[in-house]
Structure 1
């Protein structure tokens, strides 16, 4: 979590609920993943946005990981009032996340409206509208754990097919202490179908806390119409602000000043190029041609974008994009046709007058008429010839002027296309070089990876061999011990055998001696007989 201390105008801190009692409709920037970050919030605040939301943050990751906090939540002193939106499914986790952001924000919002599959599969987002008890427990836990009584707790929901269930959910949330409820007027299954503003109106009629309407609001006039249709206390806008961050200030299209403000703010905050470029693509979608979009959308670096903006929206481009010139351009063809018709009529009338007075002049010259009458006819003829020359020459000059303007316009367009194509070629070459460098780096990485794998395989083989050697050593040691033991046993047996042999020899000698004695006794007995 990063609290930026750059020099930004500081908003007076107040309870965000007070905004809904200010007497005018509250204009809110919606939570948008990857887009409604600090730089974009700073931009829309310059153009009458009253309240901003952060992108949706998964509360469990936010509480568990310092890295997640640093990457997902960045703010500064001027970024107020600010609501941090969380995706959560456990009361304690949500309250822990609320306690972390409490010193840096004015409230939290529980996302109960995200229809994305991953969110609903994890138990986040729109699936919570079917679990009012869980929503109640989470809101109550935050209220009990956050000590600041001015810290707001809101929810953002979608509607049920059965609107009574939505009204019941909102009543339970109101009883729990929710500060306000934002209602997106579509069901979970609906994506681009028309918004059910009548459903938002019914919810507003049944709830006493502020209700914010959301869905398909693309201009300030749309916001006012939705306010009158639903009676909502505020409007929340997402894609409309992406296309025109100045819409809350009454602009129908993104003004050049807003584009310049975005460039300055994005560069000041160090906005990543992808985000910086995508925002410009959205902002310039309505004010650029199809060919210009093709060129601009493939730009691949911040310097290339800045060069493009300088070439296409520099000093002269700013002058000719003043609204007065656009209004003149709209009526240019009508004015040209009107003037050309008028000149043709004058030219034809001059021809008629010349023919008329030429015939009269010839007739009067032959006849004997008064000198004054002849001079009068002569003067009429002169005037008609003068009108013929003037109207004819004016018609010729007007056609030449029209053709000149057309050629200059075509030339300017062709030069613009040429510059755009040259820029596109330069960016393509730059991208190609970049891809070649990346390819070389990847190839080197693959080679190093292959070398690493070979070394790893060799190390694994050596380790296996060492293990086998160790095993064989242990086996050899055990075999040596067994052999030594067997040898000792053999020696013992051999010694025992030798002892037995000696004992056997002794017994044999004793046996022979006794046998000899026995034989002698027998011989003596025979002699006695």
Structure 2
């Protein structure tokens, strides 16, 4: 694996770690402090800016890997056709080389694609958690469980039961969306593990690939 694809792999591992940290259940006060720090810290803002630039380069790598997969598919089809016709120019090791190129191209495509997809999930999860926290603050304020709630706010909400029900419904919807994102992340991790197992099998047993 080349250096830049190794860096993409490291970034994917970092994204997985961050996603797991985002969905870890924490006390509301601690979670609010953490997200307030992330939202207001200038260093974090600079890191996010440079990460966006990195994702632009990863997108370029993804497009290049898709192009390589397409070209390898054409080469493999031509090699198979020549082998079926009994061409002496196509040897077993040449076919094995094309298959190896196909695997490496697909691996790079999946690696870049999963990294980009998980970045979108992270961004969406972060925004949704902020929205849930905002709704929880409003809900506590309306229910009178917030220490900073004033008596006037209690009287104001008393005449609006429908608004409280709507907020509860929004909060439940956000929690369902977070659960859906968690399941998508588990499927993403499973797919990447399967791809890693195939790569390890190819490296350890190249003769098996040749036989296929």
TM-score (norm 1): 0.22
- Whichever structure has more strand as a proportion of its residues is 1
TM-score (norm 2): 0.48
